Amino acid sequence: MNPEDALRRALHEEAGPLPPPRPEALGAIAAGAARRRLRRLSGLAATCTAVVAAIVFAGTRGGDGGPDTNVATRPAQPASTTTTMSAGATEEPDGPPELAVALSAKGRVVVLDGSTSRALRVLGQYPVEGGRMLRGISLTPDRRVVYFGYGGWSGACENAIYRAPVDGGRPPEKVVEGWSPKLSPDGRMLAYAAAGSRFGINGFLNACSNVLVVRDLATGAERAWLPSANDNYFSVGGISSITWAPDSKRLAFEFAYEETAVYLVESVDSGGRLEDLEPVPGDNDLFAPSWRPDGKIVVGSVCCQPEFDQPRKTFLVDPDARTAVPFTGADDFSFLDFDSTGRHELYVRGGEKGELFRRSDGGVPVFMARDFLEADW
Amino acid sequence: MSSAFGSTIGGIADADAPLTALYITHYPHLVGLARVLLRDHHAAEEVVQEAFIRVKASWRGMRDPHRSAAYLRSAVLNQARSRLRRCSVAAAHAAVPAAADRAVPAFGDPVERAVAADERANLLHHIRSLPDRQRDCVVLRYYLDLSEAEMAETLGISKGSVKTHLSRALAALAIRLEDKA
């Protein structure tokens, strides 16, 4: 039997005898279609109501002559999963995000299928010798563009943030010198770590990521949080794992020097103060903060100086009440990210293997890939 | 084609006669297609029913009703893929039915039948482990016997891409089957 016949026979035997059409199913199809149309109309009505409310609100604001202030809210996920007639459309309202982007330890910027973990494409390949590495990755809210950082130190800071379309349509382009980019949930601001030397702080040459910068993407205006001349601590350490609050008004980040701590910036728009987030009792190092959509921050913790030989723990921090409770989610992670619903976690397990996992609704972790540093979805 | 079930059977009126005809014509093969992909008859029927619900709900807005068969096939493939993704962890740990437990032709030498069943299971396993597009091309070509143009319309890709996916799939299958041998 030739191979094509073998394929035909195997597939037809697997499918088995063809079932006859079931007349009663037509009624179920009609009812299902009616329900679907109703849902679509409900979604349309809700959208119209929201638009009318927004117009009325804008009208009342315009009437007092005051400035038009952007309300920082995370762009909503598609409210309805209206069926389109284009062949190839899928509908997965309860599943994890369709795609994730990740930085590999081998220098690749990879787009992964969020469900199957399959690598869809490589957006860039960067040499990782000589201390150079990828650091920081962030998707725009519309999930079409990814920002990532790459660089190191070879006598002087040589790091840069790049951006590239997720569909691979154009090669990455340089945006600014810096590292660890993170876009605000409203997509208006880019937070990143930069070298103090860029701002005239030349105390330590190897401090390539000791200044926090927030750039307004519409105007290009930047606000930087600079260490003072006497602040030895901030002069030599490094900022990473920047995470934004869901309202895009606050952010937190990891700062590593002799110890690792998590810092909080209140009122980013108005240049608020840096504060050490210390809700976890004991002499713990805190790392890899990740702000959840519900307003809580998940942080990793390792105890205690000087050996730090205790098992790593995870805490859920309330940044307003400054309290922390043990968190039973991803354990022993070096990086953690939540999707916009907070239901789906993406994390890299601590250790040398760089194992990337996803987890939904507190369920069983699903291994995605190895040799990864950070990811976003 | 006129409805074999009468004008209003199942709650679908005359206005929906084209959809009824579509259902009668395509339902059996679509269930077979979904069954090949999902290995579960009930799940296959659900997937096909969902595909018809989508077509019915969007019938009036459909720009080209002549493409409805391609849209149905596409919806079945997408739904099946979606289900497979959600069940990937369970499927990875699910035991593959032994050759003896699977349907085998009830004729010929029992040893030959067992060998044939084993070979078939092996072939199907390799088909299912192909990348999505390649697997879709194989089942559309060798189960539904679609032409390259029909496959391209179903998958929303060019005929050239169909040829590429299919040839890659066949090459991959040949290599895997040789390795097994």
Whether residue B156 and residue A88 make contact (CB cut-off 8 A), yes or no, is yes
Pairs across A and B, CB distance < 8 A: 151
Which pLDDT score is estimated for A305? 56
Answer whether residue B6 is part of any domain. yes
Compare CB distances from A33 to B23, B56, B139 and report the shortest one's residue. Answer: B56
Whether residue A88 and residue B52 make contact (CB cut-off 8 A), yes or no, is no
Residue B54 has pLDDT above 50, yes or no: yes
Whether residue B170 and residue A3 make contact (CB cut-off 8 A), yes or no, is yes
Which pLDDT score is estimated for B38? 86
Distance CA A102, CA A119 (A): 10
Compare CB distances from A366 to B9, B89, B170 and report the shortest one's residue. Answer: B89
What share of residues in chain B are helix, strand, coil (percent, to 5)? 75, 0, 25
Answer whether residue B173 is part of any domain. no
Answer whether residue B166 is part of any domain. no
Answer whether residue B165 is part of any domain. no
Instruction: Report the pLDDT averaged over residues B106-133.
Output: 77
Substitution target in A24, A29, A94 with the highest count of B β-carbons within 10 Å is A29
- Using one digit for the tens of pLDDT, what is the confidence trace for B64-103? 667 788 888 988 988 787 777 655 444 444 434 433 344 4
Residue B14 has pLDDT above 60, yes or no: no
Which pLDDT score is estimated for A85? 33
Query: CATH no. for residue B21?
Result: 1.10.1740
Whether residue B85 and residue A95 make contact (CB cut-off 8 A), yes or no, is yes
Question: Residues A324, A317: contact at Cβ < 8 Å?
Answer: yes
Answer whether residue B83 is part of any domain. yes
Residue B7 has pLDDT above 50, yes or no: no
Which pLDDT score is estimated for A32? 73
| B36 has a chain A CB within 8 A of its CB | yes
pTM score of the predicted model: 0.52
Please report, for residues A138, A144, A225, A267, A332, the alpha-carbon distance to residue A73 in angstroms, rounded to integers and kept in the order given. 18, 19, 24, 15, 31
Compare CB distances from A115 to B54, B85, B142 and report the shortest one's residue. Answer: B85
| B49 has a chain A CB within 8 A of its CB | yes
**Could you please report the per-residue DSSP string of A168-221?**
--S--EEEES-EEEEE-TTSSEEEEEE-GGGGT--S-TT-SS-EEEEEETTT--
CA distance to partner chain B, nearest, from residue A39 (Å): 11
Nearest CA in chain A to B38: A15
Q: How many domains does chain B have?
A: 1
Of A178-187, A251-260, B58-67, minimum mean pLDDT range? B58-67
Of A57-61, A151-155, A188-192, B29-33, minimum mean pLDDT range? A57-61
Which pLDDT score is estimated for B102? 42
Q: Which two tokens stand for residue A174?
A: 């340089």
Of A121-135, A171-185, B58-72, minimum mean pLDDT range? B58-72
Contacts of B17 in chain A (CB under 8 A): none
- Using one digit for the tens of pLDDT, what is the confidence trace for A336-374? 888 888 888 898 886 667 889 898 888 888 888 888 888
CA distance to partner chain A, nearest, from residue B148 (Å): 15
Higher pLDDT, B113 or A292: A292
* Top mean-pLDDT range of A201-205, B72-76, B107-111: B72-76
- Give the model's confidence band at A228: pLDDT under 50 very low, under 70 low, under 90 confident, else very high: low
Question: Residues A334, A348: contact at Cβ < 8 Å?
Answer: yes
Which pLDDT score is estimated for A307? 56
Of B3-12, B18-27, B101-110, minimum mean pLDDT range? B3-12
Residue B8 has pLDDT above 70, yes or no: no
Which pLDDT score is estimated for A203? 55
Substitution target in B19, B20, B25, B36 with the highest count of A β-carbons within 10 Å is B36
Of A88-97, A223-232, A286-295, B53-62, minimum mean pLDDT range? A88-97
What share of residues in chain A are helix, strand, coil (percent, to 5)? 20, 35, 45
Instruction: Report the pLDDT averaged over residues A62-80.
Output: 31
Residue B5 has pLDDT above 70, yes or no: no
Helix A23-63, helix B41-57: angle, nearest 10: 50
Whether residue B142 and residue A85 make contact (CB cut-off 8 A), yes or no, is no
Which pLDDT score is estimated for A175? 94
Mean pLDDT of chain B: 75
- Using one digit for the tens of pLDDT, what is the confidence trace for A301-324? 876 655 556 677 888 889 888 888
Answer whether residue B30 is part of any domain. yes
Which pLDDT score is estimated for A158? 82
**Could you please report the per-residue DSSP string of A100-165?**
EEEEETTSEEEEEETTT--EEEEEEE----TT-EEEEEEE-TTSSEEEEEEEEESSSEEEEEEEEE
Whether residue A29 and residue B36 make contact (CB cut-off 8 A), yes or no, is no
Distance CA B79, CA A92 (A): 9
Answer whether residue B53 is part of any domain. yes
| B166 has a chain A CB within 8 A of its CB | no
Three-state secondary structure call for residue B114: helix
Contacts of B12 in chain A (CB under 8 A): 26-27, 29-30
Which pLDDT score is estimated for A306? 53
Which pLDDT score is estimated for A250? 94
Whether residue A89 and residue B36 make contact (CB cut-off 8 A), yes or no, is no
Which pLDDT score is estimated for A340? 83
Compare CB distances from A116 to B35, B85, B173 and report the shortest one's residue. Answer: B85
- Give the model's confidence band at B9: pLDDT under 50 very low, under 70 low, under 90 confident, else very high: very low
Answer whether residue B177 is part of any domain. no
Instruction: Report the pLDDT averaged over residues A33-46.
Output: 63
Instruction: Report the pLDDT averaged over residues A211-219.
Output: 91
Q: How many CB atoms lie within 10 A of CB A28?
A: 15
Domain that holds residue B11: 1-94
Compare CB distances from A85 to B52, B58, B86 and report the shortest one's residue. Answer: B58
Instruction: Report the pLDDT averaged over residues A217-237.
Output: 72
